[in-house]
Structure 1
Amino acid sequence: MSDLTALRDAMREFTAERGWERFHDPKSLIVALVGEVGELCELFQWLPSGEAAALAGEEPLRTRAGEEMADVLLYLVRLADVLGVDLAAAAERKMRLNAEKHRA
């Protein structure tokens, strides 16, 4: 069992406990995902690009960025579940395709 499978199962349970399945259609999940990416982007929007990595290693940005990245991951895992996509397999396949496309 992969970590993504465990997250998927936890998200299924979390959603079911609250009766939110009816709200988790693909369009709504994509909109929520985009919103969370926007919140992550907002944290870095005005940081000087040359300093962003160093600043992201310091509090409170480190914690806030981690929280927003977790939100992005959770919505993505939920979307993959709703669409019946094996996210780990899709990512591995995409990495192979990218390696072939961008051979050094």
Structure 2
Amino acid sequence: MLLYWWPRCSTCREARQVLYARGVRPEERDYFADPLTRDELRDLAAGAGGIRRLVATGSPSFRRLGRPLEDLTEAELEAHVLAEPRLLRRPLLRTSGDRVLVGARAIREAAT
């Protein structure tokens, strides 16, 4: 398992704590300190069901794009997420398979 998180994010810290409380100690990656490559982002998107599921549409960073999610191509979304990691929903948890859990709620539910 690999937890993609940002230590400054309280939601990420809470999800991590839930995992730890359940005895789950995934590898961890701060994707702000160690940015994702295009291939890594594509791999995460494939495991999550598409790049659109990874985009934090409620974030100020997304609103600054000034376009609805539906109007952006996958290539545009990739470029935006790679340039601005705050566009990525967090945290993300790659399970032992190819599945990627997106967001704290999905991680909490899987940990129970």
Name the TM-score, length of structure 1 as normaliser.
Answer: 0.28
- More strand by proportion, 1 or 2? 2
